[in-house]
Structure 1
Amino acid sequence: MTINLHNIEAEEAILGGILVDPEAIGRVAEMLKPESFTLRSHQAIFEASLTLHSQGKPTDLMTVTTWLSDQKLLEKAGGQLKLVQLIGGTVSATNIDQYGLLISDKKTRRELIKSANQIIELAKDTSQDLETILQKSEEQIASISQVRSQQDLIPISETLIDTFQEIEDRSTGAIPPGIPCGFYDLDVMTGGFQRSDLIIVAGRPSMGKSSLAVNFGYAIAKKGLAVAIFSLEMSKGQLVQRMLSSEAKIETNRIRSGQIRESEWEPLTEAISNLAELPIYIDDSSNPTVSEMRSKVRKMQAENGGKLGLILIDYLQLMEGGSDNRVQELSRITR
């Protein structure tokens, strides 16, 4: 099966559109780079156009030809005849945005194939441990997705329309204001936890920070959303004991020591049954890296149909980020 990873016609339409309408390059300048084009001649022409555009100069035939000639790139670009042919084959630059998307799509596919080949070579390298290879492999793919996720400047008018629609939906109850954390007063003040929020629970030692955070996770999991708990201080057993204590209304120290009264066995059994149904996932491995956490969360999210409610890290200062400067290290981890 042959896969076409190039679209020469679309490349020519874009370059022709830029030469015909100098204003058109502004619509693809952020979307494409010279390496987005497959032919060296097309790369040279687009590089010339980008440079002239950044200098506030027009990208017409004469200006582009002069720039290429001055940079001794005119021959590489196919000569002036090539530029004239591009103009002759272009009616207008009306669809240049759509052509830009086609070229961007092809470039991303080429990059994916290149990364896949590099990952294959990594997998064959037995001199590196498996965790390092997995991390490098994820970084290969992540670097491509991050580039695609970058957005241009968005006019406030578009954001206002989306914001108004969101306010209207919330006023009618069509969408909830946020994810309830299980504490009514806090939910009233915050409107619930918002997706992409970074929430830090701070306080002195032994003030109940972990218990509070675990209760957040427990309440969110009861809503059917998956919760990932990375416990760098307590073991899985200790965390589960705290959840059982909260659910069964039995002191943690008595659960830990096994001092359960006869009347408490039934609520304890019921609490175990209830907790077993919740989408809570616990990782108590020591010193996990950010990339390791990200990998585990992605897997968990895929297994739960994308329904991710909370990622809980207990606690942040125990993480390592590979830097000698602790302030910069924590800043990098937090980002």
Structure 2
Amino acid sequence: MSVSEGVPPTLINPEAEAALLGATMVENGLIDIAVEMIGPEDFGFSLHGRIWAAMVREHNAGRHAGPIAIRGYVEEDPELKAMGGVGYLARLTADPAGFIIPTKDLAGQIKELAVRRRLLSGFRDAQRQCADLDCDVTGIVSAVDDVIRSPVDETSRQVTAGECLDALVASFDEPRTGVTCGIISDLDDLLGALRPGSVNIVAGRPGMGKTALALTYARGAAEQGHGVQLFSLEMGSTVLISAES
């Protein structure tokens, strides 16, 4: 099977990938668990990634994603032929590891190794750029920063309406903590407390007082002991202070 050149063997676990593919081929319901964590590009062996892509495609179409169903996608694949042809797909389903190790654990390890490989590749690119005096230092630093940030940013996931409803119902018993203004009481009555992790947008036409509202809310929150940090792309600090006062 082909892997990226220069990737240490420790950063690829073919057994985990094969176990995941085999278990999800047999029990397609497990695909919904793994697909939120990994994509085809996360597999260390490219053939496994192509098999996974075919399985997800069949599953999303409402069909059983077993060896027979995905055969047409990969039977002419040179790497599959090197592994013994379509019989390899059937052998994947005979791997007991996928039924012993939880799907989340297998997918989690595959994802972690993929992140490590991407970090390694990014740092190697940065190393080559450092040795090239034609490369701008600022650009190199920016590239390294992107390499470091990209794995952290891969946190989004799809959730079902049922999961959202369950989380909403469970939140009814949680203490209603958050940040209020304290100065604009009507706004506090309307919005309630602004909860951690939420995004709140103040929108309106120019000159309607958006900045003044945000500043007043920030001052009220600060007076109640909440930490406040304000960024402005339009006004300097002295202008903001005068606008709030």
Which secondary structure does the structure 1 equivalent of 2:230 belong to?
strand
Instruction: Specify the alignment match of 1:69 in structure 2.
Output: 75
> Contact 2:33 / 2:104 at 8 angstroms: preserved in 1?
yes
Distance 1:224 1:81, change over 3 A: same
Determine whether 1:167 maps to 2:172. Answer: yes
Which of 103, 111, 129 matches 2:110? 103
In 2, Cα distance between equivalents of 1:199 and 1:152: 27
> Contact 2:20 / 2:98 at 8 angstroms: preserved in 1?
no
Percent of aligned positions that are identical: 20
Q: Which has the larger radius of gyration?
A: 1
Which of 182, 196, 200 matches 1:197? 200
Instruction: Specify the alignment match of 1:89 in structure 2.
Output: 95
Instruction: Specify the alignment match of 1:112 in structure 2.
Output: 119
> Contact 2:80 / 2:88 at 8 angstroms: preserved in 1?
no
AA matched with 1:21:
E
Q: Which moved more, 1:5-14 or 1:59-68?
A: 59-68
Equivalences for residues 52-67 of structure 1 within 5 A? 52-67=58-73
In 2, Cα distance between equivalents of 1:218 and 1:3: 55
> Contact 1:24 / 1:93 at 8 angstroms: preserved in 2?
no
Instruction: Specify the alignment match of 2:136 in structure 1.
Output: 128
* 1:197 CA displacement: 0.8
Distance 1:117 1:224, change over 3 A: farther
TM-score normalised by structure 1 residue count:
0.56
> Contact 1:36 / 1:107 at 8 angstroms: preserved in 2?
yes
Instruction: Indicate the structure with greater strand content.
Output: 1
> Contact 2:28 / 2:64 at 8 angstroms: preserved in 1?
yes
Equivalences for residues 1-335 of structure 1 within 5 A? 4-70=10-76, 74-90=80-96, 93=99, 95-121=102-128, 127-128=135-136, 130=138, 132-146=139-153, 148-156=154-162, 158-169=163-174, 174-176=175-177, 178-180=179-181, 182-194=183-195, 195-200=198-203, 202-204=205-207, 210-222=211-223, 223-230=225-232, 232-233=234-235, 235-240=236-241, 246=245
In 1, Cα distance between equivalents of 2:209 and 2:49: 60
* 1:134 CA displacement: 4.7
In 1, Cα distance between equivalents of 2:238 and 2:28: 66
* 1:75 CA displacement: 0.8
* 1:192 CA displacement: 3.9
Which secondary structure does the structure 1 equivalent of 2:220 belong to?
helix
Distance 1:228 1:129, change over 3 A: farther
| Structure 2: gaps spanning 5 or more residues | 1-7
TM-score normalised by structure 2 residue count:
0.72
* 1:104 CA displacement: 1.5
Q: Which one scores higher on RCO, CA 8 angstroms, separation ≥ 6?
A: 2
Instruction: Specify the alignment match of 1:326 in structure 2.
Output: none
* 1:76 CA displacement: 4.6
In 1, Cα distance between equivalents of 2:210 and 2:59: 54
In 2, Cα distance between equivalents of 1:181 and 1:202: 25
Which secondary structure does the structure 2 equivalent of 1:199 belong to?
coil
Distance 1:31 1:242, change over 3 A: closer
* 1:199 CA displacement: 1.4
| Structure 1: gaps spanning 5 or more residues | 247-335
AA matched with 1:166:
S
Root-mean-square deviation (CA, aligned residues, Å) is 3.5
* 1:237 CA displacement: 3.4
Distance 1:208 1:64, change over 3 A: closer
In 2, Cα distance between equivalents of 1:126 and 1:163: 55
AA matched with 2:171:
E
